[in-house]
Structure 1
Amino acid sequence: MFSQSRLYYLFIGLFLVIQTSSSYKPSSIKNLGAFCANDTSHGYPNLNPIDQSQPRLINKVENGTLYQIGSGDDQIWLIHVYGNTGYDFGYAYGTLLRDQIHKVLPRAWTHFQQEIIDSLKDLKLPKWFENIIVNQGLDVALDFQNELVKKYTDEEIYNEMRGLADASQIDYKIVTRLHMLGEITRGRCSLYGLWGNVTLGGKTLQLRALDWDVDAGLQDYPVVTIYHPRTSKLGHAFANVAWAGYIGTLTGMSSLRLGISEIGVSFPDNTFGDESMSGLPFIFVERYILQYSETLDDALSFISDVRRTCHLILGVADGKLGTARMIQYSHSKVNFFDDQNLQPLADWHPRIPNAVYSGMDWLCPSRQYKLYRAIIDQYGQITPELSIKNITSIVKTGDLHVGVYDLTDNIMYVANARGTDEQGPKEAYNRQFVKIDLNIEFARQQ
């Protein structure tokens, strides 16, 4: 006999199957690359136990404390920085992670220089910018790009990068150049925001799966930074998931229980607007949301008003309100979606009650449908643990790192790709996740 709850979820599944009969009108999906058109393979459940060990104190300096979390080959640096200025943040960070910064940034810079030159034809950059890279070098191009975005970027961001460079004694220009790379490379990623009936107990959950370059060595030095502003001009406490020397936000949660996700779009359609290299880089748009926005409405208003740059899909979830939004993002257009109007609406990307989601790109049928199926298969029972076991690993998304946010209980789960000389699976979604209780970390005093 089926229980009433089981019958309810079977009904939801039937409703969603019927709904998939809709077709997608705005643009043809012909001529997509093999990445999005043909990948229908599925992965295996991630059966690794989640590491729940306590942070281990490593070092302490003025305005900063360094811990390690995780175990074995899946350890992560957990750094707390405190300050009245961005420079305070950066100097503490650079002091505590000097060795790691020197090992990862020069290697990453060398790798990306060659990688971008080798793949210029696939990046769809403006011809004038491509010519600068070819004729004068990537360093000159990124320095020029930095000049284009400076007037839109908070001065405290540059102060933080300067403090990081001064303390770690690394070239400041390498730091700024690496923070411009996201606008060029973007990455293929996946996200969801789930709430209400789709999750166990009605929790608000969010996925940020980062599918980016695993050959640059970034995963050798994964870092979760907890920011503790000592003045309101620097916003409120937030957690940023990245690598040694990187202060932009791709993955993170705020102390006000907002979460952020992002997908670079390589396959847009005619519902997107145009792009620009002049505006606030998206890694700082996302950081602003975590650092300064108090509500979901604050975040959406900021996205609407900011000078945007490239084609993206953003996800913002709010654990206080118990909901999430997906944003279609470009320089000239922005559209906000919930579970009732989610786009693109197609048989390979149906709407799901109490969910927004996107798999790997905008027009990416096989990847979108795999994520849809994984959510539907777990509908009504989804927890962070179940998502780790049966969603990201089955869909095979999040090769560089994965963040799963419990925005109801303020807990984050993080995994990173296999580092150099480490053992086990390569992709983050197949590796051990580390549980971080942000209630404790946001309240931690120096």
Structure 2
Amino acid sequence: MGKELQELLPEYNAYLEKTIEDALKKVPPFIAKWIADLGLPGALDLTYEITRFYTPPWFDEELRGLAAGAGVAYEVVRRMNLIPELIKASCTVLGAWGESSVASTLLHLRALDWDDKAPIAKYATVTVYHPNASYEGYTENFHKYYRQENYTSHAFANFGYLGLIGSLSAYSEASIGLGEKVWITKEQDITTRFGNPWTYVLRDVVQFADSIDTALTMLVNAHRTCSIHLGLGSYERNASVHSDETVGFRGIEYSAKEFNVFNWEDMYNTKNHPILKDVVYWDKHVQPSNNPCLGSLLVDHYGRINAPTIIRNITSLSETGDALNLILDYGENAAYLAYSAPDDPQGPLEAFNRVHTRLDMAKLFAEPAPK
């Protein structure tokens, strides 16, 4: 991994410098000014300085260990991990269960619409963590950041890219899953830079939560920063009968000053975004979206939704998930995923058009923890 990270960091930094003008059009004005005044490295360093007081120490410790082990500069890998705090992606969020799906258990789509041609796409990774629950950083600091005395640490998987330790998409052995899409609002005062970067919050929630309620409590208590939408899934694997109490999915509007939670009954209801029983969804467009594509596809396939249907008939037709297309099947305890492939001259570029790989998450979580 060290060799690959040594190759990725300079290549990705050079790519960002070349494409920064396009990126400036997609960020809030004050972030664009930071980047214009300080350069991208300076803006990322400023982000670190104002977020580090709100960030649990285990992230910085891991970054320092990663940099030392790979033989790269700590500051460079730290900057890369804060890029999602400045530049967020479009993406699609979908949770489907009960009457909408074939097996009635939960299906969770996290379709990442980011930059499918970026050099980082060549370094796609699924990283499975087996955390040391006795690590003193948890016992000494967990309450400080999430205002809870008790916690249970779980093995979890990050679906992302080499060197990124926060969670763009994640799933745990406790069957808690999270994924994000940008939430574009006109009310700029609902965000702040003074908090814990959202990718770090998502990772902690997936690692430490064991239910919808504990996940929501952590999200509410976190020092939130950006405005993003979240898809939060939960599945009680040992329940004898699966119902709304054992299979859960919530859509969340997450920001520093607002936190709104939606079940399927609470979603806005329009001609192009109809309310569907046991379905929570936001398409890749600015919300509330008037684009008819995703809503019509969900209506067409209602009652027959499973992972193959999502891959063949929903994400490919709505053209969402160009960088990463991830479907978590909570009933199977499996992940179906594809990444974009800018270096593949034979196959399609976009993840949603590529062959997907099925991962047995139970087997991955059962692997012995490294010593």
Tell whether the structures are fold-level matches, with TM greater than 0.5.
yes
What is the CA–CA distance in structure 1 between the aligned matches of 2:251 and 2:189, rounded to whole Å? 16
Match of 2:251 in 1: 326
Q: Deviations over 1:92-132 (max 9, x none)?
A: xxxxx112212222211222233234442431232xx4434
| Alignment partner of 1:124 is 2:28 | yes
Match of 2:142 in 1: none
What is the CA–CA distance in structure 1 between the aligned matches of 2:177 and 2:94, rounded to whole Å? 11
Match of 1:256 in 2: 174
Task: Determine which of 417, 420, 429 is the counterpart of 2:340.
Answer: 417
Residue type matched to 1:302 in 2?
A: M
Match of 1:62 in 2: none
Q: Deviations over 1:145-202 (max 9, x none)?
A: 1011111111111111111100111111111111111122101100101111111121
User: Structure 2, unaligned stretches of length 5 or more?
Assistant: 139-152, 237-245
What is the CA–CA distance in structure 2 between the aligned matches of 1:131 and 1:394, rounded to whole Å? 37
Confirm or deny: 8 A CA contact 1:193 1:355 kept in the other structure: yes
Q: Secondary structure at the match of 2:14?
A: helix
Q: Deviations over 1:286-310 (max 9, x none)?
A: 1111111111111111111212111
Residue type matched to 1:285 in 2?
A: V
Residue type matched to 2:315 in 1?
A: T
Residue type matched to 1:417 in 2?
A: S
Q: How does 1:132-143 map to 2 (within 5 A)?
A: 132-143=34-45
Sort the Cα spacing of 1:419 and 1:99 in 2 relative to 1 into closer, same or farther, 3 A: farther
Residue type matched to 1:113 in 2?
A: E
What is the CA–CA distance in structure 2 between the aligned matches of 1:237 and 1:220, rounded to whole Å? 26
Q: 1:352 offset after TM fit, Å? A: 1.0
Q: Secondary structure at the match of 1:340?
A: helix
| Alignment partner of 1:111 is 2:27 | no
What is the CA–CA distance in structure 2 between the aligned matches of 1:216 and 1:107, rounded to whole Å? 9
Report which stretch shifted further, 319-328 or 98-107.
98-107
| Alignment partner of 1:298 is 2:214 | yes
Match of 1:153 in 2: 55
Q: Secondary structure at the match of 2:266?
A: coil
What is the CA–CA distance in structure 2 between the aligned matches of 1:427 and 1:365, rounded to whole Å? 23
Q: Secondary structure at the match of 1:353?
A: coil
Confirm or deny: 8 A CA contact 1:314 1:327 kept in the other structure: yes
What is the CA–CA distance in structure 2 between the aligned matches of 1:132 and 1:394, rounded to whole Å? 38
Match of 1:392 in 2: 315
Q: 1:391 offset after TM fit, Å? A: 1.0
Confirm or deny: 8 A CA contact 1:318 1:324 kept in the other structure: yes
Sort the Cα spacing of 1:388 and 1:121 in 2 relative to 1 into closer, same or farther, 3 A: closer
Confirm or deny: 8 A CA contact 2:99 2:303 kept in the other structure: yes
Q: Secondary structure at the match of 2:253?
A: strand
Q: Deviations over 1:360-396 (max 9, x none)?
A: 14436354x3111111111111111211111111111
| Alignment partner of 1:216 is 2:118 | yes
Sort the Cα spacing of 1:187 and 1:352 in 2 relative to 1 into closer, same or farther, 3 A: same
| Alignment partner of 1:312 is 2:236 | no
Q: Secondary structure at the match of 1:352?
A: coil
Residue type matched to 2:331 in 1?
A: T
What is the CA–CA distance in structure 2 between the aligned matches of 1:245 and 1:113, rounded to whole Å? 19
Confirm or deny: 8 A CA contact 1:265 1:361 kept in the other structure: no
Residue type matched to 1:359 in 2?
A: D
Match of 2:2 in 1: 98
Match of 1:375 in 2: 298
Match of 2:79 in 1: 177
Match of 1:401 in 2: 324
User: Structure 1, unaligned stretches of length 5 or more?
Assistant: 1-96
Q: 1:221 offset after TM fit, Å? A: 1.4
What is the CA–CA distance in structure 1 between the aligned matches of 2:249 and 2:22, rounded to whole Å? 38
What is the CA–CA distance in structure 2 between the aligned matches of 1:378 and 1:175, rounded to whole Å? 43
What is the CA–CA distance in structure 1 between the aligned matches of 2:25 and 2:332, rounded to whole Å? 45
Sort the Cα spacing of 1:273 and 1:356 in 2 relative to 1 into closer, same or farther, 3 A: farther
What is the CA–CA distance in structure 1 between the aligned matches of 2:33 and 2:311, rounded to whole Å? 43
Q: Secondary structure at the match of 1:313?
A: strand
Task: Determine which of 183, 199, 209 is the counterpart of 1:265.
Answer: 183
What is the CA–CA distance in structure 1 between the aligned matches of 2:199 and 2:213, rounded to whole Å? 19
| Alignment partner of 1:164 is 2:66 | yes
Confirm or deny: 8 A CA contact 1:194 1:323 kept in the other structure: no
What is the CA–CA distance in structure 1 between the aligned matches of 2:267 and 2:71, rounded to whole Å? 47
| Alignment partner of 1:186 is 2:88 | yes
Confirm or deny: 8 A CA contact 1:117 1:134 kept in the other structure: no
Confirm or deny: 8 A CA contact 1:404 1:413 kept in the other structure: yes
Q: Secondary structure at the match of 1:192?
A: strand
Q: Deviations over 1:312-353 (max 9, x none)?
A: 11110112221200001121111000011113x332222110
Q: 1:137 offset after TM fit, Å? A: 1.6
TM normalised by structure 2 equals 0.88
The structure with more radius of gyration: 1
Q: Secondary structure at the match of 1:202?
A: coil
Confirm or deny: 8 A CA contact 1:264 1:361 kept in the other structure: no
What is the CA–CA distance in structure 2 between the aligned matches of 1:417 and 1:335, rounded to whole Å? 32
Confirm or deny: 8 A CA contact 2:272 2:296 kept in the other structure: no
Q: Secondary structure at the match of 2:26?
A: helix
Match of 2:193 in 1: 277
Residue type matched to 1:360 in 2?
A: K
Sort the Cα spacing of 1:153 and 1:361 in 2 relative to 1 into closer, same or farther, 3 A: farther
Match of 1:339 in 2: 264
Residue type matched to 2:74 in 1?
A: Y
Aligned positions, number:
344
